[in-house]
Homo-oligomer: A and B are copies of this chain.
């Protein structure tokens, strides 16, 4: 699985806690990868057992102690190995909404239209989030010294945005088509 590699990748930007990594996921790669916090914690521990990361605890006065993970040399080597290996695996997608549309002829047209409206609204919100991420990306790259990364991060975010917009356009077209039927 690639969650390990996703975590190694983010840690190559600098040490971080599980909580921070979860936010890093949400603010950038949400479109093509996501993970539960509990899974991130477990995976970090397993990376530590494999010697790919190290962990140190930073005690704080008011908040729970932070477990800060850092990439080791062998973790970096593993990341490089994985990045350079050709990507054979095709993306897996599981979209329960589209499943409902697929079998849409079985239920009343009004219900389908309602589903489509809900989905459209969810897309609208997600697009707004992505536009924010896109807008702040140059600043974040400057601040974190990720200059060389900028074109890559931007490219993936833009693909996410475009995909969502295509979905939304499809939604509108299909609503019109259904209404005509």
The interface of chain A, by Cβ under 8 A from chain B, is 2, 5-6, 9, 12, 28-29, 31-34, 79-80, 82-84, 86-87, 89-107, 111, 114-115, 118-119, 122, 126, 146, 148-149, 151-153, 155-156, 158-159, 162-163, 166-167, 170, 174, 177-178, 181
Given A98-B32, A102-B156, A151-B177, CB of A87 within 8 Å of CB of B118: yes
24 intermolecular pairs with C-beta atoms under 8 Å apart? A2-B94, A29-B99, A32-B99, A33-B93, A33-B99, A34-B94, A87-B96, A87-B119, A90-B126, A91-B93, A91-B95, A91-B96, A92-B93, A98-B159, A101-B152, A102-B153, A104-B152, A105-B146, A105-B149, A151-B178, A155-B170, A155-B177, A159-B166, A166-B166
Top 4 closest A-B pairs, CB basis? A91-B95, A32-B95, A32-B98, A87-B97
Q: Give the residues in chain B near A178, CB-CB below 8 Å.
A: 151
Name the residue of chain B whose CB is nearest to the CB of A91.
B95
Q: Give the residues in chain B near A156, CB-CB below 8 Å.
A: 98, 101-102
Cβ 8 A contact of A118, one of B86, B107, B114: B86
Q: Give the residues in chain B near A102, CB-CB below 8 Å.
A: 9, 28-29, 152-153, 156
